[in-house]
Structure 1
Amino acid sequence: MADMFLEKFRSLVPKYLEDKWNEADGLNAEELAEGLAQSGVSIPFVLEEFYLAVGNNEDFTEAYHFFFDPEELEIDGEYLLFLEDEEEKYVWGFKTSQLSVPDPIVYRRNNSKGTWTSEEGTFSEFTFDMFSWVFEELAAELDD
């Protein structure tokens, strides 16, 4: 499959960090394959390209929310978990039945209730919206 999202994820670096993207920002294919082998899960194409683009850049993988490293990915019931908020109130995932979809819908679980809710957007939509919010929050904090 051709790179559908790779350049868009790479463009996050200059947009929010005012720096050029470089290979060190992302995982290489071997690192990603090793991590996925450890976790034993398959991931949607969009998440693979996210890791290849910015999977090593903590400004993205640990900005208010924490993206699981490939070796930390896990299946919980009917969902593949990939993200958790800093207070561990919520976790985000994909339905395992949708892992073959290139850019599946994201779901959020309220950890205290155990209930899942659709974010009503795909991973790419959700991620770009989340980073927009995160970096706007950071800019506002720096202005205070």
Structure 2
Amino acid sequence: MTELFSEKFRALVPQYFEDEWAEEDGLTEDELSEMLADKDFELPLALREFYRAVGATEDIMEAFHFFWDPDELEVEDGFLLFLEDEDEEYTWGMKADQLDVPDPIVWRRNNVRGEWQSEEGTFSEYVLDLFEWVFEENAED
């Protein structure tokens, strides 16, 4: 399988943690498959490669926002949920009917109102922008 997004996700480790990426930073294909065994949906390519690249790196998975472990993923309101903020005010997802798109658009739900709003960027764009915001914003403080 072609890895379209893996390099960018692997680059998060040296970029923000001043350490070389290692295979242990990501989940193996077997680990990922086992965690998804009881799910009735397929992950979009970008989300799969994210978990394979950095899904075992706690500093990334819990950096300001919390990426859900693959076995915690669920479809709700027609969206595959994958991320929430530390106060659980917002949850991010992608439309469940677009999971066959390699890099779907990310949407944010206001958990109080239950309203969804497009982030106007794909999963890979959103993730890379999120880490830039988290780490570079905090570096300035």
**TM-score scaled by length of structure 1:** 0.94
Structure 1 contact 85–91 (Cα < 8 Å) conserved: yes
Give, in whole Å, the separation in 2 of the partners of 1:112 and 1:104.
Answer: 24
Q: Is the 8 A contact 1:41 1:73 kept in 2?
A: no
Distance of 2:140 and 2:38 partners within structure 1: 39
For 1:24, the equivalent position in structure 2 comes to 24
Check if 1:41 corresponds to 2:45: no
List aligned pairs for 1:1-144, cutoff 5 A: 1-141=1-141
- 1:84 & 1:120 partners in 2: Cα distance? 17
Rounded to whole Å, the distance in 2 between the matches of 1:3 and 1:46 is 9
Structure 2 CA distance, aligned partners of 1:39 and 1:45?
16
Query: 1:63-115: CA deviations, max 9, x gaps?
Result: 01000000000000210000000000000000011100000000000000000
**Matches of 1:122 and 1:137, distance apart in 2:** 22
Q: Could you tell me how far apart the structure 2 residues matched to 1:103 and 1:46 are?
A: 5
In 2, Cα distance between equivalents of 1:65 and 1:135 = 12
Give the residue type in structure 2 aligned to 1:37: A
Count of paired positions: 141
User: Secondary structure of 1:37's partner?
Assistant: coil
For 2:77 and 2:120, the matched residues in 1 are separated by 20
Give the superposition deviation at 1:43. 1.0
The two structures, once aligned, show a CA RMSD in angstroms of 1.0
